[in-house]
A and B are shown apart, each in its own frame.
Chain A
Amino acid sequence: MVRLWKSVAFRLAVFCGVLVIGSVTIFSAIFYFGTIRVLIQDVDRKITSISQRLSDKFETQGVEALRTEIDAMLSDKIDVETEIYYLGGIDGRKITGNLSDWKELSSPLDRSIDRNVIRDGNPSSARLLLHQLPNGGLLIVGRDMKDINEITYLVWRTIGIGCVAALMLAIGGTILFRYLLERRVGAIRKTVEEIEAGKLDKRIPISGVEDEFARLSREMNRMLDRIEYLMDGVRHVSNTIAHNLRTPLSRIRGHLDEALRTADASRLAGAAEFSIGQIDGLITVFDKLLQIAESESGIRRQPFTTVALREVVTNVVELYDAIAEEKGIALVTNIEGDPKTLGDKDLLASALANLIDNAFKYGGRSVTISVRATPGAETVSMIVQDDGPGIPPEERSKVTQRFYRLDQNMPGTGLGLSIVDAIAHLHGASLGLEDASPGLLARLVLPPFTSQ
């Protein structure tokens, strides 16, 4: 029973059943009062008025007149089937009437009562009104209720059958409802179980009807798509992290191992130096991954402040001007107006530095790099544009993936654009990579800071 009660379908069914029985009861009550009660009240009214009339007759004309009147009514062939009259004397004996002797002396007076009586020698179920005449005699006016009782029986039988049918329907509906619910929920549960067992590609089948379950299933499928996508990302990242960490670690190990075996002092020193270099590289990768994770978590490292992009661009370009000069790269800046945004100065500078770094690395020799900042009402942007080879369109979405490197022969961690992307995300900004034909145009679109 407890187990059954745990089923939503069962509880709903019990609830529905109670509701059905309740409504049948109310319906029956209304029906009963609308039919049987009306008939009975009609009878009561009739016998009361006759009793009143006869009692008046007695008071004005005496017992003999009353007796004559009753005899007349009994023999007038009207209502022969149902009429009941009785007149008893002071001594309790019957004077006239179609009832057998009335022995029940303590019966209530002046209100309708139901009794089984002998009428014209036949048993009859009757409704009677007893009235004490002023001289102590007893006047009974009544009506045989056989017809009405038949109707009552019919009504109650109908209600009874209705109740049973309604209950059956409720039970049947419950079973059907439970079955349907189980089928829909069961499909979801089955899918969830399969996913739990590791089959992440399973989805809930969606039936043709666009009902609540279909909508729920669709939402859950969307959620599963998202989770699978993220899981893929995590898997990809953990594979590449493992690769990116294992490779330098095995190189370090190899070098140290070899140096130890040869036990040559200069060899050892060389191996130590090599190892430190590799470890520094590992630390850089760690720092960058942490930076990405921090930015992606959406938690600001320090409260955002107003950042003037003019200052960011000028400072970062001044950091790179020497190397541009050395490499024969033209590094030009163009700042329009005074674009400002709300953000983290260090992170924005780091993002810009990463973009400039990329232009240096992939732009090739004698490239022209233009760094711009533009104001706007809706957005402000920082743009790094070069006239180098650019990024093929099909690669553009991949370059922001962690550890993805366009050219494996170039030095680097493959994290630069991931960092820029994460920083953009933290600032509610977007990173766009466009074709500058020739070259690449990287656009960091930021929300503007307005003093209001």
Chain B
Amino acid sequence: MNMSCLIIEDEPDTARFVCNGLKEAGFTVTWSREGVEGLNLAASEQWGIIILDRMLPGNVDGLSIVKTLRELGKTTPVLILSALASLDERVRGLRGGGDDYLTKPFAFSELLARVEALVRRSVQRADTAELRIADLMLDLRTRRAERGGKQISLQPREFRLLEYLVRHQDQIVTRTMLLESVWDYHFDPQTNVIDVQISRLRSKIDKGFSPPLLHTIRGAGYMVSVHG
């Protein structure tokens, strides 16, 4: 897995905060604070992921960098950071070739979860008929799940939730990521709906089985993993 990360961000505080965090998480990080240099670096080397700010010095829109990069045939995953928070801007960012869009201010755990999801997605994208972790098996054709040979009854939406978590096993996924991918919504429900969805799912797949698979990562999100 390519753990090299290029950060194109002109604001030193944000850049330092992101750099340090990613280094701690095991990434090698290169920081460029300016658009042209950033684009040269992005095009000339093989990066695991590029983190790109939308508003760069000299009125450079980060989106133009993504566009050029894609025109050069580069498929490196790009995470766009922006203070432009509206849904319209998000849609523009994703249509413009970005793979994910995160608005400032953000929690570092949210950034890390998304970066890891992007890095891994670009590694393993093989479509299989079934997903497995420990003794949990998801049959993607019949949309059925079983654990230890026992059938688990899941509603369609719960199956999608579990599928997403298992596809991203050993990675932290945040509540927003779940809401966006499983429910396809870009809004923030007030009550802890996702938490309760997760705990209901947990009671179905973990109750009476060992080891527990669905873990809550405090202050960040959830993770499906064999290890606690």
Contacts and interface: CB of A to CB of B under 8 A. Distances in A.
Given A301-B87, A301-B88, A326-B200, A319 B190 contact: no
B175 to A, nearest CB: 11
Contacts of B86: 290, 294, 301
B149 interface: no
Contacts of B184: 315
A290 B184 CA distance: 21
Name which of B91, B189, B190, B192 has the most chain A CB atoms within 10 A of its CB.
Answer: B190
Contacts of A318: 155, 157, 183
B197 A346 contact: no
Interface in A347-361: 347, 349-350, 353-354, 357, 360-361
Given A294-B86, A301-B87, A357-B190, A349 B185 contact: yes
B106 to A, nearest CB: 9
A315 B186 CA distance: 13
A323 B187 contact: no
B105 A322 contact: no
Nearest to A282: B105
Interface string A313-344: 00100111111011000000000000000001
A364 interface: no
Given A302-B88, A315-B185, A416 B200 contact: no
Interface in B144-161: 155, 157
B13 to A, nearest CB: 15
Contacts of B183: 315, 318-319
Contacts, number: 68
Nearest to B200: A322
B188 A320 contact: no
B191 A360 contact: yes
B129 interface: no
A231 interface: no
A213 to B, nearest CB: 46
Interface residues of B, number: 26
A353 B196 contact: no
A403 B181 CA distance: 31
B134 interface: no
B85 interface: yes
Interface string A276-312: 1001100110010010001000000110000000000
B182 to A, nearest CB: 9
Interface size class of A (residues with CB under 8 A): 20 to 34
B72 interface: no
B228 to A, nearest CB: 22
Contacts of B189: 319, 353, 357
B126 interface: no
Interface of B: 85-88, 91, 105, 107, 155, 157, 179, 183-193, 196-197, 199-200, 219
Nearest 10 Cβ contacts at the A-B interface: A350-B187, A323-B196, A301-B88, A322-B196, A322-B200, A322-B197, A318-B157, A357-B190, A301-B87, A353-B189
28 contacts: A273-B219, A279-B105, A283-B105, A284-B188, A294-B86, A301-B86, A301-B91, A302-B88, A315-B184, A315-B185, A318-B155, A319-B193, A320-B193, A322-B196, A322-B197, A323-B193, A325-B196, A326-B196, A326-B199, A326-B200, A346-B186, A346-B187, A349-B187, A353-B190, A354-B190, A357-B189, A357-B191, A361-B191
